[in-house]
Each structure stands twice: as C-alpha cells, then as structure tokens.
Structure 1
Amino acid sequence: MTLAGKNECGRWAFFLGGITLYALGLNLFLAPNNIAAGGVSGIATVLGSLLPVSVATVIFLINLPLLVASVFVRGWKFTKNTLVGSWVYTGLVYATAWLPVLTTNPVCAALFGGALYGAGMALLVLGNGSVGGTDLVIRLLVARFPSISVGKMALLVESGVIAFSMIAYRDIEVGLYAILAIYICAVFADKALRGFNQGNLCFIITGKDPGLVAAPLMEHIGCAVTRLDGYGMYSAAERGILLTAIRTSQTPRLKRLLSEVDAKAFVVVLPATEILGGKFQHLFLPGEKP
C-alpha cells in the first residue's frame, strides 16, 4: 500500500473511532442521566427524554435541515464530508442504544461521558471529520454574521443548549452537570491533541564555561543541551546561553545542579505545551509509523 493509501486508512480509522466514542459517551453516560452536554446531541437528549422518540431520530431530524442549509450556504464540497459523518454518527447512536447504562450517578456520568466525548473529539480532529450538529450551526451562523468570532459563536450556541436543558427539565443541576461534562471533554481533547509530553523549556545564561555547566545536566538528568552565544548588554561581557527541554518533574533537580555548578547563573524556566523529538514523543502522521 502506498503512503497516501496508508494515510487515508489512518484518517478513516481516526474518523470512525471518534464517532464511536461520541456514540458510546452519549448512550452509556450522558443521555440516560439527562445531561445535555451541548451540541445537537444535547438537544436530542432533552427532546428524547420528554417525547416518545429516540435520541438518534432527533439527531437525524435536526441535522437534516442543517445539511440542506449548508449545501446552499457553504457548498457541496464542504457539506459532503459532514454528511457522511452525521449519518454514520446517527447510525452508531442507533446501534449502541441497547447497551446498558453504566452509572446513574450524574457526576460520574458527566466525568466519564465528557472523557469519551473529549477523546472522540480529538480523534475526529485527527481524522479531519465532523458529525455535523452545532459545529455545522456555528459555521453557518459565522457565515451569516462574520463580525462574531467562531469562539464567541460557539459559546453562545453551547450556552443556549445548556439553558434549554435547564428550562426543559426545570432543574439547574442538569445544567451544572452539562458544564462539567463539557469541561472534561475540553481537557481530554486538549490533552490528546497536544500530547501528554508537556515539560519546561529552560534558558540558562552563564558567565562560566558553558561546557562545564552543561556536563552535570546531561550526566545526571540525561537531557540534551544546546549552546548559543550571547552578549550581556548590562555587564558588557560574553555570555554562554544553554537551552534544554526537560520534564516538569526534573525541574527541581536541574535547579539544584545549577546551584552547585553556577549559583550566579541567570535561569528562565518556561512551560512547554508539548515537546517532540529526542527522548520525547515523535511526531507522525495518521497511517505512518511513529
């Protein structure tokens, strides 16, 4: 199989995996506990519990006019991928509706349902897919009201879904559980997309021999160190600049070693959202080997 074929297979694997996690999070945790965690699925959760119709049917009925509108507003090229995602998602919600509810504790449901939603969202992003829903609503509204940013529009739409659930159920707590689920979803999606290889980026400015300062760091911590040449404008002297990326747990040890080898070193420690390469995580594309 060619590299392009492998990448396409990988994209579809992420796409289908993300939709499956979405459906499981909805049917195993959120919908049975009346937690409308935003989106069309949230609206369907409310209507499905109040009307004699399944959640999957409501999702399909809401998405249908949105897809038709999308064809006229954004064109067929944009809509066709969302069309596939929304239909597959609806089918999987139908197919997993028979699964037993895993908990009736709304807090647990919000935590685990939000986690599955977040993992599913990350996989959909990696697979460049969409299940329609409020994602489609937001894009259509932004096209109609370009002065409002995507982030603000998303906040307005999701807040409206949560408010709708609180009014429909006449219960403020269901809205609070929904907010908790959305927060957990965002945290998991962020972690999955940015990676768990977070750490610190350290700049060490020293007046001593940079090699002598870097040696104990490489020996005792095992970190790679890059040397840059600098010039101190205040001291009017040459300075060695050492750059290294370490895990957060290694930062206290680095400070202790620096205090022993050069107590006068000027050190800047910056949080690094994700570190790739070297002893950290490798960057790879769907379908390729890491």
Structure 2
Amino acid sequence: MKTFGAAVWAEMRRLFLLTTGIVISAFAYAIFQVPFNISAGGIGGLSIVVNHYTGLTVGVLYALMNIPLLLLGFFYLGRWRFLFRTVLAVAIFSTVTDLAITYAPLYLSSYPLTGDVLLNTIYGGIVGGIGGGLIYRAGATAGGTGILGRVIQMKTGVPLSQIYLWTDGGIVITMGLVFGWEVSLYAMLALFLNGLASDYTLEGPSSVRTATIITDRPEEVTRALMTGLDRGVSRWEVKGGYTGETHHMLLCTVFRPQVNDLKRIVSETDENAFLVIGDAHQALGKGFAPLRRSRGA
C-alpha cells in the first residue's frame, strides 16, 4: 500500500500534469485555432460557433457549456476525484484561453503568429494533442464531449471512438455550415492530428515489436532467438485450421532495432516458418521498462 507521503506526491504529480496539459491545450486553442474559427471538434468548436453569433468570449462559453455536462458526469459517473479534476481543468482552460486571446496581441510580435491557415491547423492540432495527452495521463479530461462520451458508453455500451465520431463529427459539420466547408476540412485535419499527438504523448513511441512465429522446429528457433537476441520466448502447441496439423507458436517481444536480426534468425533456423511482426504500445517487465515505474499516473 502507498504511504501517505507517496499518495500526496502522486496526487501533486497528477495535478502538475493536468495543469501543464490544460495550459498547453488552451494556448494551442487560443493562438492557433480561434483566430481562424478552427477547432478539433468538441465544446471548443461549439464555443467558436456560438461566439460568432453572441459575441461572448470563447472561454466563458466553454465554461457555460460544460456546466450541464459536469452535472451529468456527477450523477452518472459518480467519481468525486474525477469530477474535481475535470472542474479544475475546465476552469483553467476557460481562464487561460480568454487571457491568451486578450493579451497575445499585446505581447506577441504578430497575432496570429502566421496567416497561413494550414500551418495554424497543423500546429494547433499537434500542440493541443500534446496537452490532451498530458491531461489523460493525469486521469482527467478537459470536460466537454469527453464526459458525454463516458456517460453514453456506460449506458449503451457503444465504443468511445464511435461516440466521439458522432459528437465531434457533428460539431465539425456545424462549423462547416456556419463558416464554410473549407473551415470544416481544416477542422477535420486538426482533429486527426490532435488524436495522433494525444496518443503519442499518452503512450509514447512504439519502440517494441511483437513477433508471432509458427514453426515445426520450436526447440531450435527458441534456442536461436534466446541466444542471438537475449530475449525470452513463450511457446505453445497450436493446430492449423485448414490442415488440422499440429504446429508450435512462439511469441517473442524485441526492440525495434532487433527486428531485422529476428527475421534473419528465424529464416536461417526454419525457412518454412510463418512469421508475423506487429507493433506493441509498451513492453513492461524484465528486459524492458520496469513495471512498477510504468503504472498509471
């Protein structure tokens, strides 16, 4: 069990990640996206649309639109810690966004930084995604469709990715109807880049590969891999679906630079082997990243 000091330190680390992620996301939104009416979907996009008609600042609108969603999350998700972090995230995001929009023209040599819409879309999506990844690592969301998605998933069982496609896709289409379809296309690009950058920040680069090997020479291949790569190998007996013949399946996880050596070793040991190599998000445990240090934030 964690000691009190360790628990406090872990919570401080989460709050630091949350605050840093929110500030980065808010700056990306205010500096790169708002000046061109572009947003990677979500409540941020809806705030830009409503701002166009009401004149209320996007930060205030973001906070107001999140109030019913926060209440929804409180009643259906029922997690006080999650709710606290999300309320904090919404408050910081709204405040930093409006401050950045107000003071950026005074302190930056030019605002927006560039008049190139594509550059603003790319950097807004990537920088905002980095901030989003830090927020997720802190165990929170920036509110908005993140809360709605979790509630709908809990009630219906529909995958989150599909829910976000509906909600964010609908908001992007709304932006197209209001500002023109070119803006909608840029928003879709920002949404895509935001997701990539968020995943990369949350999980890190895929530096490991997992190899699945079907062979009739399991002893030789296992020995060759363990000797040549200094990697562990798991094996079990399998039966071919078409032939009904018995074979052996080996599983071996290696670092990316070892892939070519793995292919060479397998081909030299059993030229009739069947080899599949796939990406792995992470490898934790002996020989890779320590499992204890890599547990959730």
**TM-score interval for Structure 1 and Structure 2 normalised by the shorter chain:** 0.7 to 0.9
Alignment match of 2:144 (pick from 133, 152, 168): 133
Deviation at 1:29, TM superposition (A): 1.0
| 8 Å CA contact 1:11, 1:128 repeated in 2 | yes
Structure 1 residues 278, 235: closer, same or farther in 2, change over 3 A?
Answer: same
Cα distance in 2, alignment partners of residues 15 and 38 from structure 1? 20
Between stretches 96-105 and 21-30, larger displacement belongs to 96-105
Determine the structure 2 residue equivalent to 1:167: 177
| 8 Å CA contact 1:119, 1:189 repeated in 2 | yes
Deviation at 1:240, TM superposition (A): 6.6
Kindly indicate whether residue 130 of structure 2 is the aligned counterpart of residue 115 of structure 1: no
Deviation at 1:79, TM superposition (A): 4.3
Cα distance in 2, alignment partners of residues 243 and 71 from structure 1? 44
Determine the structure 1 residue equivalent to 2:20: 17
SS of the aligned residue for 1:132 comes to: coil
Deviations 1:57-103 (CA, angstroms, capped at 9, x unpaired): 22233234444565566668464443222112212213332234333
Give the residue type in structure 1 aligned to 2:93.
Y
Alignment match of 2:87 (pick from 69, 83, 94): 83
Deviations 1:145-173 (CA, angstroms, capped at 9, x unpaired): 7486644433222122112211211x111
Structure 1 residues 96, 248: closer, same or farther in 2, change over 3 A?
Answer: same
Determine the structure 2 residue equivalent to 1:186: 195
Kindly indicate whether residue 14 of structure 2 is the aligned counterpart of residue 4 of structure 1: no
Cα distance in 1, alignment partners of residues 123 and 205 from structure 2? 19
Deviations 1:11-34 (CA, angstroms, capped at 9, x unpaired): 111211221121011012111222
Kindly indicate whether residue 272 of structure 2 is the aligned counterpart of residue 264 of structure 1: yes
| 8 Å CA contact 2:46, 2:171 repeated in 1 | yes
Determine the structure 2 residue equivalent to 1:253: 261
TM-score normalised by length of structure 2: 0.78
Structure 1 residues 138, 259: closer, same or farther in 2, change over 3 A?
Answer: closer
Kindly indicate whether residue 285 of structure 2 is the aligned counterpart of residue 277 of structure 1: yes
SS of the aligned residue for 2:233 comes to: strand
Alignment match of 1:56 (pick from 55, 59, 68): 59
Structure 1 residues 213, 60: closer, same or farther in 2, change over 3 A?
Answer: closer
Matches within 5 A, 1:237-248: 242-248=250-256
Cα distance in 2, alignment partners of residues 191 and 20 from structure 1? 18
Give the residue type in structure 1 aligned to 2:269.
V
Cα distance in 1, alignment partners of residues 216 and 25 from structure 2? 55
Deviation at 1:8, TM superposition (A): 0.8
Cα distance in 2, alignment partners of residues 209 and 132 from structure 1? 51
Deviations 1:191-218 (CA, angstroms, capped at 9, x unpaired): 23333134332234555573x5445545
Q: Report the identity percentage.
A: 25
SS of the aligned residue for 2:277 comes to: strand
Cα distance in 1, alignment partners of residues 144 and 30 from structure 2? 17
Determine the structure 2 residue equivalent to 1:30: 33
Cα distance in 2, alignment partners of residues 168 and 209 from structure 1? 63
Determine the structure 1 residue equivalent to 2:205: 196
Aligned residues: 282
Cα distance in 1, alignment partners of residues 73 and 274 from structure 2? 56
Determine the structure 1 residue equivalent to 2:168: 158
Give the residue type in structure 1 aligned to 2:45.
G
Deviation at 1:257, TM superposition (A): 2.5
| 8 Å CA contact 1:36, 1:46 repeated in 2 | no
Determine the structure 2 residue equivalent to 1:225: 232
Give the residue type in structure 2 aligned to 1:92.
V
Cα distance in 2, alignment partners of residues 119 and 180 from structure 1? 16
Cα distance in 1, alignment partners of residues 153 and 238 from structure 2? 49
Cα distance in 2, alignment partners of residues 76 and 277 from structure 1? 31
SS of the aligned residue for 1:36 comes to: coil
Deviation at 1:179, TM superposition (A): 0.4
Deviations 1:134-153 (CA, angstroms, capped at 9, x unpaired): 3334456668x748664443
